[in-house]
Amino acid sequence: MNAQRRLEIAATIASAAIVAAGVLFFGWPTFAVLAFYWIENVAIGIFNLLRILVAAARARQPGSGVMLGAFFTLHYGLFCLAHAYFIVAIFGGGVDEGHLFEPVVALIERVTAEPVGIAALLAIVIATGIDAARWLKSADELERADPQRALFAPYGRVVVLHVVLLVGAFLLQVLRAPAAAALLLVGAKLAFDWIRLRAAPAPAAGTVA
């Protein structure tokens, strides 16, 4: 296992451990856990926008990269906004219909309310950034020069993950054991990331020590 893969696994485990500590020692509810994973979605989108621009530049199609990047920003941004709405409406006490971005503000405030939350957020962003770096150094040169493939890269991961998390969170809330529900979600997310990391291709030989 190369150093980059070990660092990504360490950051992923660290983020899960910090969120679990927040549940156990700071009383974070399921809403707080989902808020962290929503922020992760946003980080994935930001890094994927860079992937699109890099792939377009490598394909010598900078104009196409700008257009695809703008489309991705709008489409993925609306996806994240709708996802934020459902999280706040179901788990965060409801949404003020008069403020479009109120769910986004509520999620960010929940994540940054305490120093331990900021630490968890940093770990999530680091793990996501390493994942993007691994893509940049992967052996598949064709993929790294195909902005169309980069455009759709994050959707499968985030849709499957967050459908599972939302459905699981709803079912676990019914059990009226918020701490157990939140910890089970953290465990499910960590298992999902572990499987994904084990299946991900390693960087090309010679690119990483």
What is the tens place of the pLDDT at every residue in 31-79?
A: 888 888 888 889 989 988 988 888 888 888 888 889 999 999 999 999 8
From the list 39, 38, 37, 31, the residue with the least C-alpha distance to 179 is: 31
What's the pLDDT band for 161 if we cut at 50, 70, 90?
Answer: low
Read off the pLDDT of each residue in 193-200 and give the average, rounded to a whole number. Answer: 77
Residue 129: predicted pLDDT: 85
The residue that leads in pLDDT, 189 or 169, is: 189
Q: For the whole model, what pTM was predicted? A: 0.79
Q: What is the DSSP string of 10-68?
A: HHHHHHHHHHHHHHHHH---HHHHHHHHHHHHHHHHHHHHHHHHHHHHHTT-HHHHHHH
The encoded tokens of residue 169 equal 């969170």
pLDDT digits (tens, 9 = 90+) for 73-86: 999 999 889 889 88
Residue 128: predicted pLDDT: 85
d(CA 87, CA 176): 17
What's the pLDDT band for 209 if we cut at 50, 70, 90?
Answer: very low
Paired with 203 in beta bridges are: 138
For the chain, the structural domain boundaries read: 3-199
Continuous H helices in the chain: 3-26, 30-58, 62-91, 102-111, 115-136, 141-144, 147-152, 155-174, 178-199
From residue 1, alpha-carbon distances to 16, 203, 205, 206, 208 in Å are: 21, 11, 12, 13, 11
Residue 127: predicted pLDDT: 84
CA quadruple 41, 43, 48, 53: dihedral, nearest 10: 150
DSSP state of 203: B
Q: How much of the chain, in percent, has pLDDT values that exceed 90?
A: 10
Name residue 62's amino acid: P
What's the pLDDT band for 29 if we cut at 50, 70, 90?
Answer: confident
Instruction: Let me know: does 29 contact 182? Beta carbons within 8 Å.
Output: yes
The encoded tokens of residue 61 equal 């199609």
From the list 47, 70, 66, 44, the residue with the least C-alpha distance to 57 is: 66
